[in-house]
Amino acid sequence: MVKVKLKDGSIKEVAKGTSVYDIAAAISGRLAKEAVVGEVNGKTVDLSYKINDDCELNILKFEDHEGAHAFRHTSSHIMAQAVKRLFPDTKLAIGPAIDNGFYYDFDTEHKFVPEDLERIEAEMQRIIKEDLKLERFELPRDEAIKFMAEKGEAYKVELINDLPEDAIISFYQQGDFVDLCAGCHVSSTKEVKSIKLLSLAGAYWRGNEKNKMLQRIYGTSFPKASMLEEYLNMLEEAKKRDHRKLGKELELFSLMEEGPGFPFMLPKGMVVKNNLLKYWRELHDRANYVEIETPIMLNRHLWETSGHWFHYKDNMYTLLIDEEDFAVKPMNCPGCMLVYKTAMRSYKDLPLRMGEIGRVHRHELSGALHGLMRVRAFTQDDAHIFMLPEQIKDEIIGVVNLIDEVYKTFGFSYHVELSTRPEKSMGSDEDWQLAEESLKAALEEMQVPYKLNPGDGAFYGPKIDFHLRDCLGRTWQCGTIQLDMQMPQRFDLSYIGRDGEKHRPIMIHRVAFGSIERFMGILIEEFAGKFPAWLAPVQVKLLTIADRHTPYAEEVVAKLRSKGIRVELDDRAEKIGFKIREAQLEKGPYMLIIGDKEAELGGVSVRSRDIGELGSMPLEAFIETLLVEIGERSLKSKFEKAE
């Protein structure tokens, strides 16, 4: 017998060789039905996995990340099998599970079209109904290469060749279909209840534009039809909210072929961006940050000192000036190190919080570019905090509170992930241990729940990432806190301690918005272009009913502008219904209708985007209430609907 410790802490004794599935069935029939994979001592395994030693076991369902991953990984295998049945000469590349779905890359002479997706999907349904068992088997590397070569799968052979010579290679078989795969998978194709193929795309083999362009098919899958329907409805809503579409319609930004990945910010977009930056500056002023600005381009020596020249050069834009290598900065940190060194620092100066709204450039592959979400040039709301070792926890708590305030201002909820030392990293084991323990201690003292991401930290230190959730349930990684004990050492930063000796400061890298442009894209989609009044490019749109109302309307415009309210006047000789419909498409928060009554009484007729008709009111009353709404950075109108 072996002892199995379950998630709830209970111990279950089972016979040696009992499968994960059998243990799930012994716990409850419902758990066995919903189980997707298991987790034994932290490692994900198939339900068929045999327990031969004492262990900790967690039964994972679809709602667990690894459960959904295995479910959709199986879905990608089903799609590959369907494609091979319909187009037998197709060569298989890779087919991973991704967030909310899966894809597979294919090399075939046949050019896939949308109609093919329907055929492939129908074949997938047949494979699901065939109830094919997924069975794992392993081969030595040489045999695995021969096995795939005989099947004509050149891409699989290349993948195997990259593995160590003594590696044991795993495969999964379902019916007559076999794929190279590390796993894990569901037990049978029948477990994949609801599937939908979504789109086609091109993808270079291994993401290298020098390699062959393959055809990629994206899809998604769920254990219930209702879950699939809900997801597809969300996708439809996301299309309506697409920031690229709304950005063009609302004249916020432009994406031009003359600058792929380099968005052009239009006047109305600059209003939004500048108001975000104004809020950022107010917040950081309250938190005792000082603001700096560093050059956009610095020489190779700096980037070698920081380590970016060796760890990040492929993502940097480099050039030769006066026979010396320079790089356009992909991040602000190294320049901030030089600012710190402009003066001798004392322990009394620390913590020193330096903020920078810095323009950075990163070389992204053209296929990865996506509106404002993935660009080659963006504005980063960076900050670096230099501190004493005993100040680490308090400073992390301060940053967590600041980022929490930012997200609450926009109505976002979020979750936190803690990422630890990656395989390629700088620094000693002792430094990394202290850094990781400091981040954990701060989160635990604040009672902030977090997910551990082993090995996903930056090369210079562990990090806390904030993943905000939007109104469609999507998550976006924006804020981050990175603890760094390496860069102060590489740049020989120091401060004079209480003992009169030189010491090395500890440093935090952190952002709240992340990329201002990306955060704008998220906000456009979150609000569907309907910005709250404080952010709206045009806060008030004045509409005249007839030409004779223009003089009074211009007086209203002047009064609003004198109070700092952003206003536009539409006094065209058009019917008022037409003007209202056009103004509604602009999604501004308020319209003021000016007619005979308003001109005579010195009032305005107010229409709220979010509430509807508010009726007539004195102009001063409208201004007073709107200024409160703007001043509080409220997400909701401060007006009340007229009775």
Between the alpha carbon of residue 443 and those of residues 352, 389, 393, 403, 481, the distances in Å are: 22, 17, 9, 13, 12
Closest CA to 404 of 278, 273, 412, 481: 412
Q: Which of the following is catalytic: 46, 179, 382, 484?
A: 382
Closest CA to 435 of 495, 372, 482, 500: 482
Asked about 509 being catalytic, the answer comes back as yes
Q: DSSP secondary structure string, 270-285?
A: HHHHHHHHHHHHHHHH
Dihedral angle of Cα 508, 514, 516, 520, to the nearest 10 degrees: -150
Distance CA 550, CA 554 (A): 6
355 φ/ψ angles, rounded to the nearest 5 degrees: -105, 145
39 φ/ψ angles, rounded to the nearest 5 degrees: -130, 110
Distance CA 551, CA 66 (A): 66
433 φ/ψ angles, rounded to the nearest 5 degrees: -65, -45
The tokens for 61 are 């369902």
Asked about 362 being catalytic, the answer comes back as yes
Q: Coil, strand, or helix at residue 167?
A: coil
Distance CA 580, CA 593 (A): 9
Distance CA 4, CA 8 (A): 11
CA angle 393, 394, 396 (to 5 degrees): 65
What one-character DSSP code corresponds to residue 133?
Answer: B
Distance CA 175, CA 253 (A): 52
Q: Which of the following is catalytic: 273, 463, 518, 579?
A: 463
Cβ–Cβ < 8 Å for 584, 578: no
Q: Which of the following is catalytic: 380, 482, 486, 539?
A: 380
Distance CA 307, CA 322 (A): 23
Amino acid identity, position 294: T
Q: Which of the following is catalytic: 181, 333, 336, 478?
A: 333
Distance CA 334, CA 301 (A): 11
Q: What number of CA atoms fall less than 13 Å from residue 600's CA on the CB side?
A: 3
Distance CA 330, CA 332 (A): 7
Amino acid identity, position 448: V
Please say whether the dihedral angle defined by the alpha carbons of residues 434, 435, 440 and 443, taken in this order, is positive or negative: positive
Distance CA 596, CA 439 (A): 64
**Quick one: three-class SS letters along 532-547?**
CCCCCCCCEEEEECCH
Q: Which of the following is catalytic: 361, 362, 541, 549?
A: 362
Cβ–Cβ < 8 Å for 517, 276: no
Centroid of chain to Cα 320: 34
Element (H, E) at 106: strand 101-107
Asked about 380 being catalytic, the answer comes back as yes
Amino acid identity, position 618: P
What residue spans of 130-211 are helical by DSSP H? 141-150, 154-161
Cβ–Cβ < 8 Å for 371, 262: no
Closest CA to 127 of 253, 6, 221: 221
Asked about 463 being catalytic, the answer comes back as yes
Q: Which of the following is catalytic: 384, 421, 510, 566?
A: 384
Asked about 81 being catalytic, the answer comes back as no
Locus of tokens 């930290």: 457
Q: Which of the following is catalytic: 509, 518, 541, 607?
A: 509
Active site residues: 333, 362, 380, 382, 384, 463, 509
